Amino acid sequence: MTLPPRVRIVEVGPRDGLQNEAAFLSVDAKVAFIEMLARAGLISIEAGSFVSPKAAPQMASTGEVLEKLRGRADLRVSVLVANPRGLEAAFKAGARELAVFAAASETFSRHNINCSIAESLARFKVMVEEAARRGIWARGYVSCALGCPYEGAVAPAQVAAVARELRAIGCAEVSLGDTIGVGTPLEARRLAEMVAREIGLERVAVHFHDTYGQALANIFACLEAGVTVVDSSVAGLGGCPYAPGASGNVATEDVIYMLNGLGVETGVELGALLQAGAYISRLLNRGPASAVARAFAAKRRSP
């Protein structure tokens, strides 16, 4: 068994996590949350998104959050953008990294961003090129990489084709999103390997939801394939408003615990991460979806 010596965690809780939570947090609470994540050693953090407030009302304060984080040159803070208007708002707020999101399913693309896959890629090409002119790094997402809530199975070749197009328009990294969490380890690994042949293994990231309890196994399978970038969300926050039944993202605490056990470096300190997860869970008035967080909490309560 060969595993990478180090993995970069992309913490998506402040965006992909909070956007699907009912509670609204203040700007200061969001900034405090991000700073706690940073103290735990997470340096790649998705801080929010510039999308329609009707689609993701929890993200309406993203500009103010970025403004308060301007001085954190030590962090790779990124934001999701959906259209040119959002892109301009991201520029105005001082974004240094951004992400665009395409889908491998036509039906999901139309439900999520009201256009076809081809139309979305054409739109994103203009946006990513403009970002590059300003020296801003861009990442691309492929939603429904292992299944679609509307169409069911998604052909791996279709995922690879969308990933190839995202790379061609200038995305430095492409994250394969199992939006509804239906993937299993062997198909996850095969997909990562197929996409790697198209865009290069160093540009492949994985983004698993844990709907069927397969996320950690899927991550492990992709690590064996050489993937070194993993998206996760502290406390297992999140879901997808356009994917009925999708549960939260794989919990960052659970990923770090597994990677620590495998001897894979991440630079993340589990104790501080657990504190960040407990903080955000209290604000949201919910328990963490992280098995590791629950186990540590039970251990503290036991006599």
The mean pLDDT of 112-117, rounded to a whole number, is 90
- Is 240 labeled as catalytic in the residue annotation? yes
- Confidence band, pLDDT 50/70/90 cuts, at residue 114: confident
The mean pLDDT of 188-211, rounded to a whole number, is 97
Q: CA-CA distance, 81 to 176, in Å (whole number)?
A: 17
Please tell me the predicted confidence (pLDDT) of residue 243.
Answer: 53
Residue 234 scores a pLDDT above 60: yes
Residue 192 scores a pLDDT above 90: yes
Please tell me the predicted confidence (pLDDT) of residue 246.
Answer: 53
Closest among 68, 75, 47, 67 to 59, alpha carbons compared:
47
Residue 264 scores a pLDDT above 80: yes
Please tell me the predicted confidence (pLDDT) of residue 244.
Answer: 54
Please tell me the predicted confidence (pLDDT) of residue 59.
Answer: 94
Burial class (CB in 10 A: 0-12, 13-18, 19+), 218: buried
User: Other CB atoms closer than 10 Å to residue 134's CB: what's the count?
Assistant: 10
Query: Percentage of the chain with pLDDT > 70?
Result: 96
The mean pLDDT of 8-21, rounded to a whole number, is 94
User: Going by DSSP bridges, is the β-strand pair 204-208/97-103 parallel, antiparallel, or unpaired?
Assistant: unpaired
- Confidence band, pLDDT 50/70/90 cuts, at residue 20: confident
Tokens of 247: 């549960």
Ordered DSSP codes for the chain: ----SB-EEEE-IIIIIGGG-SS---HHHHHHHHHHHHHTT--EEEEEEES-TTT-GGGTTHHHHHHHTTT-TTSEEEEEE-SHHHHHHHHHHT-SEEEEEEES-HHHHHHHHSS-HHHHHHHHHHHHHHHHHTT-EEEEEEETTT-BTTTB---HHHHHHHHHHHHHTT-SEEEEEETT----HHHHHHHHHHHHHHH-GGGEEEEEB-TTS-HHHHHHHHHHTT--EEEEBGGG----TTSTT--PBPBHHHHHHHHHHHT-B-S--HHHHHHHHHHHHHHHTS----HHHHHHHHHHH--
* 48-to-17, 245, 251 alpha-carbon distances in Å: 10, 23, 18
The mean pLDDT of 234-245, rounded to a whole number, is 69
pTM: 0.95
User: Going by DSSP bridges, is the β-strand pair 229-232/76-81 parallel, antiparallel, or unpaired?
Assistant: unpaired
Q: Alpha-carbon Rg of the chain, whole angstroms?
A: 18
The mean pLDDT of 231-239, rounded to a whole number, is 91
Tokens of 157: 């070749």
Catalytic residue among 144, 148, 222, 240: 240
Domain ranges of the chain: 8-301
- Confidence band, pLDDT 50/70/90 cuts, at residue 193: very high
| Record: fold of 8-301 | TIM Barrel (3.20.20)
The mean pLDDT of 115-141, rounded to a whole number, is 97
pLDDT 10s digits, 165-187? 999 999 999 999 999 999 999 99
Please tell me the predicted confidence (pLDDT) of residue 303.
Answer: 64
Residues 113, 118, 121, 123, Cα dihedral to 10°: -70
